Structure 1
Amino acid sequence: MAKQVHSDIIRADNPTHSRQRRIFSHAFSDKALKEQESLIRGYVDLLISKIREESGLDGHMRTNPSTVDMVRMYNFTTFDIMADLTFGEPLGMLKGGEYVPWVSNIFGSVKYMVLGSFLRVYPLFGRIAAAFIPNSLLEKKKKHDQFAIERVDRRLQYDMDRGDIWSLVQRSADLDNITRGEMYANAQVFMIAGTETTATLLSGLTYLLCQNSDKMNKLVREIRSLACQQELNITNLQRLPYLNACLEEGLRLYPPAPVIAPRVAPLGGATVCGRFVPEGTSGGVAQYAAYRSAYNFADPSEFVPERWLSSPPERHASDKREVLRPFSYGPRNCLGKNFAYHELRLILASLLWTFDVSLEQSISNWLDQKTYGIWEKQPLYVRLR
């Protein structure tokens, strides 16, 4: 019999959310990030090794070096990292070079949750539309839930202090303040929010940089200005202005979750932008539309990392940079924001330190994709040398 999964940090009511956020904040603090850096670094090194192998640059040079699908490589890396932090063991995708079935179930699970939320908003239409949702999506959701439950149970059987999420929560003496059901629920959140979204931005940003060789060259020069590969660490990379500018511009043009993060007006209603919103009203900002609006950004469809520098070009000096909120805003913003930025910097900088990257000739209009809360990405084949 499947165990019940309880409210997670995203869907919980305000008191429950505050309690859970306090508990998990220990695992995503700056101190925790420094402790986790060596674990992340190990998987990034494995990524570079796997890319060398797949591209034919591992010392066994082929006559025609192979292209590499960076969507797969980034997914393998982010899922292995977060699985190790969440379950105490990787999924083994980087070593095996293949998706494990559970990751495919995650993508199906997300689709099911997005369609389910739509049906809850429009219940009358939902009863009709529900008949057209494939049963396979529901099955993938169930398998995703059960996998997370089994892995959390297995991790908690062992009393080990290894710097993963549960070790850090236990050190803070907060493990007794969260139910096992809430552990299951939040493990599922971490394995979606902390994996696919990071891999998505890395994929989109790789495409944008390859499409804009002047920006790519500028970023490569900045990264390779560091004295040696060992200098590619959390402390040094967060100080590189153009690397950070590229991340922000990637988040603007290709937000990993381009949908609305809804908020509900409180009792008595609220005033938003000078307009009264009655209590119970659900609303939000469509990220994709806001980030590509000429009202907020000059040249909104162009890849211009310079707009995020401390001294931007005059044409972009009036950009409304505060509009960019890819990790949401307020007391319910993403708890793993700092972790995500550090992981993004480390993976991208390591790739561009090691390889010269260009798109395979057949790749074009890669950003034209469907979205189900997350982007439905096609392979992104690149050449490396």
Structure 2
Amino acid sequence: MYGLVVGVASLSALTDIYGHGTPCNKDLFYSTLSGTHFNLADCVDRAEHARKRKVLSTAYALKNLESWEHKITDKVAMMIKQFDRRCTNPLKPGERPCPADLTVDYRAWTNFFTMDAIADIGLSEHLGFIVAGSDDIVGEKLNGDTYTTSYRECLHATLDAQSHLIWAYDWYKPLSKLSAMLSSQYSRWFKLAGNWDGVVYHRATKRLVRYQKGEKLDDFFQALMEDKNGKPNNLPWGEIVAEMSVMLNAGSASTAIAINNTMYLLLKHPSALATLRAELSTVLTDHDEVVAYDQVKHLPYLRACLDESMRILPPTTFGLPRRTPAEGHSINGDYIAGDTSVSISAYVAHRDEAVFIDPECFIPERWLGEQGKELQQYFIAFSAGSRGCIGRNISYLEQVILLATMLHRYEFALPHPEWVPELREHFNLVPGPLPVKVWRRENYDA
């Protein structure tokens, strides 16, 4: 009998744990946190996961996502209007922004962006967060009563509560009830978690009404209801709501974190920022406002900056747990007994000095050329293998368009050169506010 075992293995263990064909399955972690119906992320059964992925794979394919580019670019246009209103006078060389000039919390605004974008892509719903500058949203109880709550606060509270208690799988549910009774903090978290369920339920039921009225809308909800030939999928309503929940959760949170972190790291590394802007200037003009995906999707340094940001600060930092088969499994040449939870943290894996030279340094150039192609096998910001994140294409699509547009149109400055953000970990590594001064770039006449 073994207690807690912590092992350190080389990155070759990635394939053994997460790769295509691995006998390791998703851990009890996922089924413990699931609701009445599994979604694509928490589904443990392989056959069921394959069925779900088949239903959604066409919708998540890059070619199909590019046809939804307008659902992203119109949100970027809204961001431009808000940022233009908050522009200040240019910062003089050597000066620090005064507090009154830190008019933008880049973290909050980019989260408004991803929440608005995924709601449109998934449900053809316009939440209006960017226009309002607020994430207040309506939720609905099962009895039909409605309430107003904060999208981000509900989502973060859910993850906070779960991440503290989940690791004792057999005790998770009783611990949750006990914690809510004895702790005002946990009581608040679980109340907000219930609010999140109502937010998702309200969105899904509103979209169902539109579907039942005969609206044929091009979104993920439609893909859940019918296949590409219009044949009904006949999925249980609980399964559809579960898929909407994980889409609105993962589809907004992790991408917003990545967008925020990339801006922060570029502002901390002016030479990399200058290199990226020089690359953007080869395909964009002063008259380009919202950048088109076709203009920038093949720019190598732009993609390198995104990947390097997610290497240093992966949005999901904890090791996604897998379980070895009953007969055991060889991982990195070592036999691991059956029914054992195994995982690799992206935060740790991305700092392996044997793979990533100067791992604590922001070096986008490492992802260029043949060297960059070789490193991709060790990049697990989106996990890996058949259970890897199905939404990575949409994440890159949003990141590329927004970052290119923002950097082409504006200058940004942190409060001071030594400034660092607050970071808080639950399942994700969540950054705090990113206050910046913003002003229009010179020679930009759009």
Alignment of 1:28-177 (within 5 A): 28-55=60-87, 65-100=101-136, 101-120=150-169, 130=179, 131-132=182-183, 134-158=186-210, 159-169=214-224, 170-172=226-228, 173=230, 175-177=232-234
State the alpha-carbon separation in 1 of the partners of residues 82 and 307 from structure 2.
27
Query: How many residue pairs are counted as aligned between the two chains?
Result: 371
Cα displacement (A) at 1:348: 0.5
The structure, 1 or 2, with the larger RCO (C-alpha pairs under 8 Å, 6+ apart) is: 2
Cα displacement (A) at 1:295: 2.7
Cα displacement (A) at 1:233: 2.3
Contact 2:289–2:405 under 8 Å retained in 1: no
In structure 2, the partner of 1:9 is 40
In structure 1, the partner of 2:389 is 334
- Relative distance call for 1:273 and 1:354 in structure 2 (3 A) is same
Cα displacement (A) at 1:155: 0.2
In structure 2, the partner of 1:200 is 257
> Which of the two has greater helix per residue?
1
- Relative distance call for 1:190 and 1:125 in structure 2 (3 A) is closer
State the alpha-carbon separation in 2 of the partners of residues 326 and 162 from structure 1.
31
In structure 1, the partner of 2:361 is 302
In structure 1, the partner of 2:377 is 322
User: Residue 168 of structure 2: SS of its match in structure 1?
Assistant: helix
Contact 2:316–2:428 under 8 Å retained in 1: yes
- Relative distance call for 1:332 and 1:196 in structure 2 (3 A) is same
- The residue type paired with residue 134 of structure 1 is Y
Normalised by the length of structure 2, the TM-score is 0.77
User: Residue 68 of structure 2: SS of its match in structure 1?
Assistant: helix
Alignment of 1:255-334 (within 5 A): 255-310=314-369, 320-334=375-389
State the alpha-carbon separation in 2 of the partners of residues 54 and 175 from structure 1.
47
Cα displacement (A) at 1:38: 0.8
State the alpha-carbon separation in 1 of the partners of residues 399 and 238 from structure 2.
30
State the alpha-carbon separation in 2 of the partners of residues 151 and 124 from structure 1.
27
State the alpha-carbon separation in 2 of the partners of residues 14 and 205 from structure 1.
35
State the alpha-carbon separation in 2 of the partners of residues 272 and 65 from structure 1.
53
Structure 2: which 5+ runs fail to align?
A: 1-34, 90-99, 137-149, 440-446
Contact 1:251–1:326 under 8 Å retained in 2: yes
In structure 1, the partner of 2:20 is none
State the alpha-carbon separation in 2 of the partners of residues 190 and 294 from structure 1.
34
User: Residue 327 of structure 1: SS of its match in structure 2?
Assistant: coil
Contact 2:291–2:404 under 8 Å retained in 1: yes
Cα displacement (A) at 1:219: 0.4
Cα displacement (A) at 1:6: 1.2
User: Residue 86 of structure 2: SS of its match in structure 1?
Assistant: helix
In structure 2, the partner of 1:61 is none
User: Residue 194 of structure 1: SS of its match in structure 2?
Assistant: helix
Normalised by the length of structure 1, the TM-score is 0.89
Residue 355 in structure 1 maps to residue 410 in structure 2: yes
User: Residue 275 of structure 2: SS of its match in structure 1?
Assistant: helix
- Relative distance call for 1:177 and 1:113 in structure 2 (3 A) is farther
Q: Deviation digits for residues 66-107 of structure 1, max 9, x if unmatched?
A: 531100110000000111222321221101011221331111
Alignment of 1:191-270 (within 5 A): 191-228=248-285, 229=288, 232-270=291-329
Contact 1:290–1:296 under 8 Å retained in 2: no
User: Residue 167 of structure 2: SS of its match in structure 1?
Assistant: helix
- The residue type paired with residue 350 of structure 2 is Y
Alignment of 1:368-383 (within 5 A): 369-383=423-437
- Relative distance call for 1:121 and 1:320 in structure 2 (3 A) is farther
State the alpha-carbon separation in 2 of the partners of residues 125 and 135 from structure 1.
14
Cα displacement (A) at 1:278: 2.1
Structure 1: which 5+ runs fail to align?
A: 58-63
Contact 1:32–1:168 under 8 Å retained in 2: no
